[in-house]
Amino acid sequence: MDDSVKAVMEDCTRASDEERMSFPEVVGRMMAASVESYHTDMLRAERTFYMPDGESYVVPTHRAAATPARDFVPAGVEAAIRATQSGRIGYRDFCEDILRAGCVGYIVSFPGRRAVYFGRTGDFHVEQFPPAP
């Protein structure tokens, strides 16, 4: 994997954690770098990026303070998504909110244009990317 692609992955992760870059901006940069998908593990505080050829790269993320709820509450995850999309909360609050809703990780697929949020028991919520402006 090219070092410039790794740099994009690292920069996007830091910028999200520091709330300097929105999700649509991350999507644009990842797609421009030919990243296929990523998995954010909320329990391990790391993000694994995947390339179309199967290569992967792991980047540490901030560790959220909240403990994930035992039960997955899709409505709570969806509420956090809507709050961050509308700008009412930043990425760090989003992470805290989805953990409290029982989300332990999520996968973002660029070709599928969706994010899949999941809980401890495999329950999940699928969120399609908003249409491009």
pLDDT of residue 96: 96
Alpha carbon 131 to its chain's center:
18
Could you give the C-alpha distances from 32 to 4, 49, 81, 88, in angstroms and in order?
A: 12, 14, 24, 28
Collapsed DSSP state (helix, strand, coil) of residue 63 = coil
Domains and CATH numbers, the chain: 3-128 (3.30.1810.10)
* Residues 44, 74: Cα–Cα separation, whole Å: 21
CB 99 within 8 A of CB 69: yes
Helix (H, G, I), strand (E, B) or coil at 87: coil
CA distances from 14 to 18, 61, 76, 80, 133 (A): 6, 7, 25, 20, 25
Q: What is the pLDDT of residue 23?
A: 84
pLDDT at residue 131 in the model: 60
DSSP letter, residue 34: T
* DSSP type of residue 112: T
pTM for this predicted structure: 0.92
Per-residue pLDDT of the chain (133 residues; tens, 9 = 90+): 899 999 999 999 999 999 999 888 988 999 999 999 999 999 999 999 999 999 999 999 999 999 999 999 999 999 999 999 898 999 999 999 999 999 999 999 999 999 999 999 999 999 998 665 4
The pLDDT value recorded for residue 22 is: 86
Looking at residue 101, its pLDDT comes to: 98
CB of 11 closer than 8 Å to CB of 25:
no
Distance, in Å, from the CA atom of 70 to the CA atom of 67, rounded to the nearest integer, reads 9
